[in-house]
Amino acid sequence: MQRKFDVIVFGATGFTGRLVAEYLSTAYGVGGDLAWAMAGRSLARLTQVRDALGIDAALPLLVADARDGAALAALVAQARVVITTVGPYQRHGEALVSACARAGTDYVDLCGEPGWMAQMIPRLQGPAAASGARIVFSCGFDSIPFDLGVVFLQGQAQARLGAPLVRVHGRVKVMKGGFSGGTAASLIATLEAAGRDAALARTLVDPFALTPGFRGPPQPDDRTAAWDDLAQSWTGPFVMAPINTKNVHRTHALRGHPWGRDFTYSERMLTGTGAAGERRARALARTARLQDWLLRLAPARALIRRFVLPQPGQGPGQAQRDSGRYEVVFVGQTASGQTLRATVRGDRDPGYGSTCKLISESALCLLQDVDRTMTPGGVWTPGAAMGLTLVRRLQERAGLQFAVDAA
């Protein structure tokens, strides 16, 4: 594919978009082997951000508005892959991803909006397959560490145990740092849309909402406090489990169900053992119920938008991003009862410092490492499109570690 740019970063004037541009500039430079550009709706803002980040003035700046279909079509026709950080995607994303699907341009985003993804998959699959565009949703903290964590553990199970794991538990052990404001804004937008649409509300609680044509077995209820027999710990609800779980099941389906059509996946937070662990787990469950109730109230959402969420262009400083980290444990069991455990670690705060590296390296993995004969045009997950190839790249370049734990 002969295009002027290898990568275009769309939304480069937003907080996360700026971090992506800064990462690409630091890691790959300007004017070298990687031809990339920043894009947004204001040339003045793009220039200001480029200069503030100390990026070489030779870096091209491209102007397009997320609501201008013609401008977006012209933009994506210049790129081999587009990185977009402009969310909530259900409000601002359809025109861009549709343009990529038609133009044969690969696409990666940070989407954690399962209702929108469920709508987009059938709309985009045909055009993307025809044009050769690889559309890959959820290339940030939701859902790469979880999606690829399961792929990694299953690969190790096949190599070490000679059998797939029929159930896997993903357990968040450490999370220092916060979710991005974009993630929270997307959650609020999703709940508002679900309040208007009963079908969407059903989608949000369906673990197989992103696997059209396939219904797996009943999945664990991850909304309560519970003792985990595999992790040997009390556990509580994890706010991102509803999107990550759907992506794990979509990855499994796209890979042809190699872990068995009765595979189950559960995702929760570790809270520890004994009475103290149980108390923390129950407190998490109560907090989750309260948050869910508050987010369904319009006045509460308005207050959260005004006083809690970062405003446009805001986010944690570099010291906060650099001091963050996360650790997710995965424990699985084969049909015969053998178990295997692995841990995924990230070296920056999940919502910003790590996410900007995850999405950047996902785009470059598609561009440089993944053959189109193996991953043709269509709508993918990171685990299905890139799998262990992306695991290796993230370990080499993005500060992630994937390791099997000692028995």
pLDDT in tens, 91-139: 999 999 999 999 999 999 999 999 999 999 999 999 999 999 999 999 9
pTM, rounded to two decimals: 0.94
What pLDDT score was predicted for residue 389? 98
Do 338 and 286 share a structural domain?
Answer: yes
pLDDT in tens, 44-103: 999 999 999 999 999 999 999 999 999 999 999 999 999 999 989 999 999 999 999 999
- pLDDT tier for residue 198 given thresholds of 50, 70 and 90: confident
Does 270 share its domain with 370?
Answer: no
Per-residue pLDDT at 181 exceeds 70? no
Co-location of 361 and 382 in the same domain = yes
Q: For position 313, what pLDDT does the model report?
A: 63
- Does 121 share its domain with 197? no
Task: Report residue 194's pLDDT band, with 50, 70 and 90 as the boundaries.
Answer: low
| 298 falls within a domain | yes
The rounded distance, in Å, linking the Cα atoms of 387 and 208 is: 20
Number of domains in the chain: 2
Reply yes or no on whether the pLDDT at 12 is more than 80.
yes
pLDDT-derived band of residue 190, with 50, 70 and 90 as boundaries? confident
User: Does a structural domain hold residue 334?
Assistant: yes
Q: Do residues 73 and 220 both lie within one domain?
A: no
178 part of a folded domain: yes
What value does the mean pLDDT take over residues 209-214?
96
Residues 262 and 316 in one domain: yes
- Residue 189 pLDDT level (bands cut at 50, 70, 90): confident
Residue span of the structural domain in which 19 resides: 5-140+356-388
Higher pLDDT, 323 or 155: 155
Is 67 inside a domain boundary? Answer: yes
The answer to whether residues 129 and 202 belong to one domain is: no
Q: Which comes out higher in pLDDT, residue 313 or 319?
A: 319
161 inside domain: yes
Assign residue 23 the CATH number of its domain: 3.40.50.720
- The reply to whether 288 and 321 lie within a common domain is yes
Question: Confidence band (pLDDT; 50, 70, 90) for 311?
Answer: low
Residue 393 lies in a domain: no
Per the domain annotation, does 394 fall within a domain? Answer: no
pLDDT attached to residue 35: 98
How would residue 305 be classed by pLDDT, with cut points 50, 70 and 90? Answer: low
